[in-house]
Amino acid sequence: MRIPCPICGTRDRREFYYQGAASMLDRPAAEAPLEVWHDYLHLRDNPAGGTRDLWYHASGCGSWLVVERDTVTHEVLGAALVEACDAD
């Protein structure tokens, strides 16, 4: 698997650390109800098809990326810096 880091170029996935769903970007407000926080922490979609997840270019530039890929075809559709992204 290869991931196109917007800063370093396309690199082998061994350079990256996998985190999980990009919904982690959608951090609730501090005073949000506990239910909202529970959903944020625990609930994940498990799509057959398009997905957006977080990867960290640990052996590269140290950027957190949102990688768009397809869980069925394994196609990597693109990657963007977390700094330039919002959650779904």
Partner 1 sequence: MRIDGKGRVDRTRPVTYSFDGVTRTGLAGDTLASALMAEGELLLGRSFKYHRPRGVLTAGSEEPNALVTVRTGAQADPNTRATVQELYEGLTAVSQNRWPSLDFDLLAVNNLAAPFLGAGFYYKTFMWPKAFWEKLYEPMIRRAAGLGALSGAHDPDRYERAFAFCDVLVIGGGPAGLMAAWAAAKTGADVILCCEEPEPGGRLLSEDEQIEGRPALDWVQETVALLATRDNVRIMTRTTVTGAFDQGTYGALERVAGHLPEADGLPLECFWRIAARRAVLAAGALERHVAFRDNDRPGVMMAGAMRAYLHRWGVVPGQSVAVFGNNDDAHRTARDMAHAGVDVVALIDSRHDAENRAGDVPFYPGWQVARAHGGKALEAITLRAPNGRHEKLAVQGLGVSGGWNPSVHLTCHTGARPVWRDDIAAFVPRDGAVPGLSVAGAARGTFDTSGCLRDGAEAGLEAAQALGFSGALPHLPQADASPYRLRRLWAVAGKGRAWLDFQNDVTVKDVKQAAAENYVSVEHMKRYTTQGMATDQGKSSNVAALAILADATGRDIPETGTTTFRPPYSPVAIAALGAGAQGMGFAPQRFTTSHKASVAMGAPMIEAGLWYRPSYFPRKGETHWRHSCDREVTMVREAVGICDVSTLGKIDLQGRDVGAFLDFVYTNTFSTLKPGRVRYGLMLREDGHVMDDGTTARLSDKHWVMTTTTAAAGEVMRHLDWVKQAFCREMDVRFISVTEQWAQFAVAGPNSRALLNGLLDSPVDDESFPFMQCGPVTVGGVEARLFRISFSGEYAYELAVPARYGASLFDLLVARAEGMGGGAYGMEALNVLRIEKGHITHSEIHGRVTAFDIGFARMVSGKKDCIGKALAARPGLNEDREELVGLRPVSAGHLIAGGHLFGEGAEPVSANDQGYVTSVGYSPAMGCDLGLGFLRNGRARHGEKLRLVDHLRGVDIVVQVTDPVAFDPEGGRLRG
Binding site for Zn ion (CB under 5 A): 5, 7-8, 57, 60-61, 63
Q: Is 17 helix (H, G, I), strand (E, B) or coil?
A: strand
Q: What are phi and psi of 83, to 5 degrees?
A: -60, -20
The residues in 51-80 that bind partner 1, with binding defined as CB under 8 A, are 56, 58, 62-64, 73-76
CB-based burial label for 79 (10 Å; 0-12, 13-18, 19+):
buried
Asked if 88 touches partner 1 (CB under 8 A), the answer is no
Residue 27 found at the interface with partner 1 (CB under 8 A): yes
Enter the tokens of residue 22: 């990009």
With CB under 5 to 8 Å by kind, the binding choice for 32 among partner 1, Zn ion, none is: partner 1
CB atoms within 10 A of CB 88: 11
Question: Which residues form the interface with partner 1 (CB under 8 A)?
Answer: 1-3, 10, 12, 17, 19, 24-25, 27-28, 30, 32, 34, 37, 41, 56, 58, 62-64, 73-76, 81-83
